[in-house]
Amino acid sequence: MLYFNNIPIDESCVELIFDDNIGNKIKDSLKTLSDKQICNVKLERGMNILIKTPTYFTNFDDYNNYPSIWSNVNTTNQDGLKGSANRLNGETKIKIPMSELKPYKRYVFSKIQKIL
Convert 67-89 into a string of H (helix), E (strand) and C (coil): CCEEEEECCCCCCHHHCCCCCEE
Domain ranges of the chain: 3-52, 69-100
Instruction: Kindly tell me if the per-residue pLDDT of 8 is higher than 80.
Output: no
* pLDDT at res. 78: 47
Average pLDDT, the chain: 71
Label residue 10 by pLDDT band (50, 70, 90): confident
* pLDDT at res. 109: 67
